[in-house]
Structure formats: structure tokens, C-alpha cells
Amino acid sequence: MIHRFPSRPALQRGIVLLALAAGVSFLATRDVRDTLLPQLADVDTRLNYALFDFKATLLDDEGLLALTIEAPVLRNNARSGVGTVTRPEIFLREGGIDWRIRANSAVVSADREYVSLAGEVNVVRYNVLENDLLEIDTRDLMVSVTPRLASTDARVDMRHAGDRLAATGMKLDLISDRFELLDDVSAVYDTP
């Protein structure tokens, strides 16, 4: 099979046509870009959005895992700055203690300092160093993010080893691993 190269005049015409096509393409896109730029400058970048299969991880000052939040849906309202989360699952690590908090839904304040967990809330605390597990079931838990404090006025049921505690209302310090039961406290202790 013999391949022939195009003749010199045909090659020159091809190059000229290619250059002409590139120039027309450049001018066409420049015209579109020039007409879009003034419109884009007027767009408000604070948009409403929804994220699906959302997962975010926050690191502490030393670059270690501090908090992870996962949820099927996270929505942000641009006007109010408030975020709503469907079925959030929050993981915190403080020292040798791991916390997992699950809820039906959550509302995150505009300043991201408060998370209001709504509906049924399950809190699990696992002390890795002591192999110790505490489980708390309640409703409507308010979490203050920076001081890592949580509180509720609802009924609280706690399980630790064989012990069971119940109360109305609770304050929980996630950093110091301390809790205060507020009212109508009852306890059943498992004796060895």
C-alpha cells in the first residue's frame, strides 16, 4: 500500500483553514465569555444547597481526628445560614474516649457553634483505655460545639455495665466525661 502526502498547495489550504477555524472558535467563545462575565459578577455566591451522602472530618490543632459527621442529606439555607441534617451520625474523640451520637435530625446554627439534635438521640461513650462502654438514650439534645457540652430536658436512660440510670434532664461534658442528671433520678445497680 502506497501512502501519498497531500500536495503543497493542498497542505497550505488545510493549514489556512485550520487557522481560520481556530480564530473563529476563539472569537465565538470570547463573545460568549464577555457577555456572561457581567451576569456572573451579579450572582450571589451564598447559595442554598443540599449534599447527599455527606461526610465531613475536622482535625484538631495537632492534625488529629477531632470530629466526623456523616448524614444521608445536609441542606444549607443561604439566607439564614442554618443547616439541617437528616439522620446525622457524629463521631468525637477526646483523649482516649470515643463518642458516637446519632439522631433523627439536626439543625446546625449559622455560626456552627450549636447543633440541636431532634427526635430520638442515642449517645455511646467508649473509653478505649479502660474498655468501658456507656450508652445514653434521650430526645432533643442541644450540643455546644466549642466547649463540647450537651444538655437536654427530656427523659434520659443510661446503661453502664449492668447498671441502669434514669432521669429527667441531663448535662453532659464530653471533654471531662462527666454528666449531671437533673431531676427524678432513679438507679438500679448490678451487684456482683
pLDDT at 104 over 80: yes
Per-residue pLDDT, 40: 44
166, containing H or E segment: strand 163-173
Instruction: Give start and end residues of each alpha helix (H) in the chain.
Output: 8-41
pLDDT at 37 over 60: no
CA distance 157 to 136: 6
User: What are the structural domain ranges in the chain?
Assistant: 7-42, 49-188
Per-residue pLDDT, 173: 92
**What is the model's pTM?**
0.69
pLDDT digits (tens, 9 = 90+) for 61-98: 777 776 788 999 888 888 888 888 899 999 888 777 88
Per-residue pLDDT, 192: 67
Q: What is the CATH number of domain 49-188?
A: 2.60.450.10
